Amino acid sequence: MTAGLRRELISLALWLVFMLGTGWLVGQVVAFMLAALAMWLSWYLYQINRLLVWLGKPSRQVPEARGVWDEVYYQLYNLYKRQRKARKKLTSILARFQSSTEALPYATIVLDKNNRIEWFNPAAKNLFELSSNADIGQRIDNLVRLPVFVQYLNARQYDEPLEFDYMQRKLRMNITPYGSGQFLLTARDVTSRRKLDDMRRDFISNASHELRTPVTVIAGYLEALSDNVDEATRKPLQKIQQQTRRMQTIIDDLIELARLESPVDESGLDVVDANAVLGDVYQEAAGIDQGRHRLDLRQQDSDAPSEITGHYNEVRTALLNLVTNAIRYTPENGRITLFLESDEQTVMLGVEDNGPGIAYEHIPRLTERFYRVDAGRSREQGGSGLGLAIVKHILDRHNASLFVRSKSGKGSQFRCDFPRAH
């Protein structure tokens, strides 16, 4: 029992004893007892009313009270103080959050579950030309009506960002779900970065095209020369020829990479039979390999689904690059298998070998341009260092993914997962 309640009970008892005594003296015990209780009850009702008035508008001015009421006010006032403190803290966190998001160079928009705008920062106002008063509560897809944007927004698959053209700018946008069905949309202007990328791509493509002609001419002269040279000159000439061929491969691969970096021509997309690609590449690989390895073909039953959407030649190039690598790095008499598997969603096309394998730490970097596990070996085998970068670009253009499984000394498996065409 609290001290306040104890005091209250003592006061009540004293009051009742006093009224009982007075009633006994005047010979009206019952009437005095009833009056005592009625007065006590009125006092309580009065205190409850005061409390309700104060609770309606709590302030630092706590009404004066005695006994248990003093304690009630004291506890409630402490609660009120704690709440005020917590609210102040939250308000300052919110204000800080808002001012930092307002200062963000990224356009930031908070959307509710129906794509209605709840809040946006000044960068979003500029980028999407929003109006602070009119556009709060509006559906964003009514304001930004681009089909590609609306489709992305409604597909609710936000793993990958979306890049799109909007009002003569290139925007890159991310959407992150949070809270109870809300979404945070962030976007930034990547026009200048894209321009730089385009310039870099065009520079590489132009420089490679410019180099191609002189190197071809040199290769032609070397070919003609090689027929009638004496023994002493033959060896160095062969070395020059070998290096010229390497230069040609690098130039061709650089041109191919620059081409693959340009946007996909959607109109040229076909339904490609991955089985046919596999057969084609197998024939070509057998020609390149000249019986140095055991080349196998592993397919599910021949009528298993194998249709994908894309460009036949690109899919062929990707698989051919994988098989040439296997031929290049697997020691003679090793085993190389081209395989195709499929399920409801995916067509898996790839190559495995029992060659030297690749140590774990190199695997994430294999598709970088000019990344080689063993540079000397790659050059010696005529590799350009661009083969897997080309594969990665081709797969990206087909919404496909590359999976590499390998262990040093145990061989490698390169598998391309394409979405099945339905």
Q: Which residues bind ligand ADP (CB under 6 A)?
A: 325-326, 329, 353, 355-356, 358, 366, 371-374, 378, 383-389, 412
By beta-carbon proximity to ligand ADP, the closer residue of 124 and 388 is 388
Task: Compute how many other C-beta atoms are within 10 angstroms of the C-beta atom of residue 225.
Answer: 13
- Shortest Å, Cβ 385 to ligand ADP: 4
Which own/partner pairs from 70-76 qualify as long-range (CB within 8 Å, at least 24 positions apart)? 70/4, 71/2, 71/3, 71/4, 71/5, 72/4, 76/51
- Shortest Å, Cβ 373 to ligand ADP: 3
Q: Determine contact, residues 339/299, Cβ cutoff 8 Å.
A: yes
CA dist., res. 202 & res. 219, Å (int): 25
- Shortest Å, Cβ 411 to ligand ADP: 8
Residue that the structure tokens 């690989």 belong to:
285
CA dist., res. 337 & res. 413, Å (int): 9
By beta-carbon proximity to ligand ADP, the closer residue of 132 and 290 is 290
By beta-carbon proximity to ligand ADP, the closer residue of 130 and 250 is 250
Q: Quick one: 342 exposed, middle or buried, by C-beta within 10 A (0-12, 13-18, 19+)?
A: buried
By beta-carbon proximity to ligand ADP, the closer residue of 50 and 245 is 245
DSSP sequence for 97-157: HHHHHHH-SSEEEEE-TTSBEEEE-HHHHHHTT--TTTSTTSBHHHHS--HHHHHHHHHT-
Distances from the Cα of 107 to the Cαs of 93, 170, 174, 283, in angstroms?
20, 13, 10, 53
Distances from the Cα of 7 to the Cαs of 94, 107, 117, 327, in angstroms?
45, 63, 58, 97
By beta-carbon proximity to ligand ADP, the closer residue of 181 and 364 is 364
- Shortest Å, Cβ 325 to ligand ADP: 3
By beta-carbon proximity to ligand ADP, the closer residue of 4 and 387 is 387
CA dist., res. 29 & res. 297, Å (int): 112
- Shortest Å, Cβ 318 to ligand ADP: 11
Q: Determine contact, residues 117/107, Cβ cutoff 8 Å.
A: no
- Shortest Å, Cβ 243 to ligand ADP: 15
- Shortest Å, Cβ 110 to ligand ADP: 43
- Shortest Å, Cβ 352 to ligand ADP: 8
Would you state the structure tokens that stand for residue 276, as one six-digit string? 């046919």
Residue that the structure tokens 């490698």 belong to:
412
By beta-carbon proximity to ligand ADP, the closer residue of 235 and 410 is 410
- Shortest Å, Cβ 409 to ligand ADP: 11
By beta-carbon proximity to ligand ADP, the closer residue of 67 and 355 is 355
By beta-carbon proximity to ligand ADP, the closer residue of 121 and 384 is 384
Residue that the structure tokens 């087909």 belong to:
398
Would you state the structure tokens that stand for residue 33, as one six-digit string? 């007892």
